[in-house]
Structure 1
Amino acid sequence: MAAQHETQLIDETKDALRETAQLIEAAANAQGEEAKQLYAKIADNLRTAKHRLVELETQSVDKAKQAAKQTDEYVHAHPWQAVGIGAAVGLLIGFLVARR
């Protein structure tokens, strides 16, 4: 559900930015009141995109915090398994780096 919401926010943000780019092109050729209206719409679209990006950032930070908390709980509950996993990952990275 959250992933679907994130995808929707990303799509809406892309749409808003695409529309903003089109409005900027139209505003370049506009004059007078039409130009003012286009620039107001551009500003509104950019505020909307910024709001959606902040919402995505908040969701991402929340997920990262949740993952860190779960990792911390796992390490405290299974310290030797965590050490083994860390050692295995270290060996794998060392092996990959040595091959270069």
Structure 2
Amino acid sequence: MSEQTLQADKERLLADVRSVLNSTEELLAAAGDEGGEKTQELKAKVAANLKLAKARLVEAEHAAVEKARAAARATDQYVHENPWKSIGVAAAGAFLLGLLVSRR
């Protein structure tokens, strides 16, 4: 799997988790203050877990952004240190891609 595919999968997963968290918040808000003591305790636990999940999601997003920035910096540094190798790799990749596309 390529790095781009992994990044796209991570972003999709984060979007899905964000959607679930938002839906859960909406359900808690819609439930209102109905129910007995046990229901209120359960709502409080769900709200606490929801808050924790949101905090972890934010941390995961920050970590993903930081890793992407680090990868971009490392790539930039490598290209500046090895311009001819980078041009060769890019040319070879373009050639292979051209071969694959022309076969279809």
TM-score with structure 2 setting the length: 0.62
Please state if 1:96 is matched with 2:100. yes
Question: For 1:34, which of 38, 43, 51 is the aligned residue?
Answer: 38
Aligned length: 76
4+ long deviations beyond 3 Å:
none
Uncovered stretches (5+) of structure 2, i.e. residues with no partner: 1-16
TM-score with structure 1 setting the length: 0.64
Secondary structure of the residue aligned to 1:86 is helix
Query: Offset at 1:91?
Result: 1.6
Query: Offset at 1:89?
Result: 1.3
Question: For 1:76, which of 60, 80, 84 is the aligned residue?
Answer: 80
Q: State how far apart, in whole Å, the 2-side matches of 1:34 and 1:81 are.
A: 66
Q: State how far apart, in whole Å, the 2-side matches of 1:47 and 1:80 are.
A: 50
RMSD (Å) for aligned C-alpha atoms: 2.5
Q: State how far apart, in whole Å, the 2-side matches of 1:46 and 1:91 are.
A: 49
Uncovered stretches (5+) of structure 1, i.e. residues with no partner: 1-12
Aligned residues with identical type, % of pairs: 51
